[in-house]
């Protein structure tokens, strides 16, 4: 009986021993050649095509405006700047106003009023201020360079720095900031800001200070400056609030406009 039990135990161990002696298949070597091709692990269906990228979406409208403005300089284009000025002078021969000098900061006033009323912006105040300052710097450098490179004579013959319109660019930059900060709350804030900016562009032409090409390209420069300000910002300063209290307010005086920043410890 004891021998039968021993034989049964040996028979039960035979499959296990055979499995232990069976050589295992060698593991596949790690794929180190393509480890960095898709670090996010996204499938081909999840990847967005190039024309849906952030850079393309941010530049397509400004590029179209700037391109149209360039194409209508002087007497060029289907409806040139000369044609537009002739029609404006025919219907508004003696139009003069300085409203456009102050209206360029109206979108910023709208931004401050809506934010102070309790409507939450996309970014906190500090990061929004940094985006504004960065966008203004891009706008100033671009406008200054183009004005002193193209040297287009103004319609009234005063100076050769007509292209593009700085007033229009500034107004559309501020309108783009308003639209971006409040578009998740209501599109009407952006509609109001862009209406103001369009009024500035129209007044610059009615005042015989700019050509059609200047204001259209200026709108593109302003929108592009704001979009680049957002694209290059990563909210790095929003992790820790600044000590003390600070406030931002628009500043305007004859011939210029800007922002004032006040910090109290």
For 165, phi then psi, to 5°, come to -75, 115
pLDDT at residue 46 is higher than 90: no
Q: Residue 73: which region, alpha, beta or left (left: phi > 0; alpha: psi -120 to 50)?
A: beta
Q: Give 261's strand partners.
A: 248
Nearest CA-CA partner of 115 in 254, 250, 263: 250
First CA to last CA distance, the chain = 96
For 30, phi then psi, to 5°, come to -65, 140
Q: Give 263's strand partners.
A: 246
CA–CA dist 220, 180 (Å, integer): 16
The number of residues in the chain equals: 265
Residue in the structure block whose two tokens are 């850079």: 55
Query: 127 and 180 in contact (C-beta within 8 Å)?
Result: no
Average confidence (pLDDT) over 203-220: 98
Higher-confidence residue: 30 or 138? Answer: 138
Cα torsion 253, 168, 70, 143: sign: positive
Higher-confidence residue: 168 or 251? Answer: 168
pLDDT digits (tens, 9 = 90+) for 101-130: 999 999 999 999 999 999 999 999 999 999
CA distances from 36 to 31, 33, 41, 184 (A): 10, 8, 10, 35
Q: Residue 208: which region, alpha, beta or left (left: phi > 0; alpha: psi -120 to 50)?
A: left
Sorted by where each starts, the structural domains of the chain and their CATH numbers stand as 52-232 (1.20.144)
- Helix 187-206 and helix 81-91, axial crossing angle in degrees, nearest 10: 80
Higher-confidence residue: 217 or 52? Answer: 217
pLDDT of residue 52: 78
pLDDT of residue 49: 82
pLDDT of residue 20: 45
Higher-confidence residue: 230 or 249? Answer: 230
Average confidence (pLDDT) over 69-96: 96
CA–CA dist 168, 165 (Å, integer): 5
Reading the block at residue 143, the tokens are: 């406008």
CA–CA dist 216, 138 (Å, integer): 18
């Amino acid at each position: 009986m004891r021998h039968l039990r021993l034989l049964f135990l040996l028979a039960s161990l035979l499959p296990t021993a055979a499995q232990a002696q069976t050589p295992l298949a060698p593991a596949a070597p790690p794929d180190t050649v393509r480890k960095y091709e898709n670090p996010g692990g996204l499938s081909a269906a999840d990847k967005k095509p190039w024309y849906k990228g952030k850079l393309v979406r941010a530049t397509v409208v400004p590029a179209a405006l700037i391109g149209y403005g360039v194409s209508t300089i002087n007497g060029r284009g289907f409806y040139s700047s000369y044609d537009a000025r002739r029609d404006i002078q025919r219907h508004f021969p003696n139009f003069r106003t300085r409203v456009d000098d102050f209206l360029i900061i109206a979108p910023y006033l709208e931004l401050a009023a809506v934010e102070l009323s309790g409507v939450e912006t996309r970014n906190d105040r500090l990061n929004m201020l940094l985006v504004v300052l960065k966008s203004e710097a891009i706008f100033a450098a671009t406008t200054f360079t183009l004005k002193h490179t193209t040297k287009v004579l103004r319609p009234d013959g005063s100076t050769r720095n007509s292209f593009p319109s700085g007033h229009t660019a500034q107004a559309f930059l501020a309108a783009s900031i308003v639209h971006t900060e409040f578009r998740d709350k209501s599109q009407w804030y952006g509609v109001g800001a862009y209406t103001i900016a369009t009024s500035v562009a129209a007044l610059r032409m009615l005042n015989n200070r700019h050509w059609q090409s200047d204001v259209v390209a200026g709108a593109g420069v302003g929108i592009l400056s704001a979009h680049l300000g957002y694209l290059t910002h990563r909210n790095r300063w929003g992790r820790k609030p600044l000590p003390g209290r600070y406030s931002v307010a628009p500043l305007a005086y004859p011939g210029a406009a800007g922002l004032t920043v006040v910090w109290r410890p």
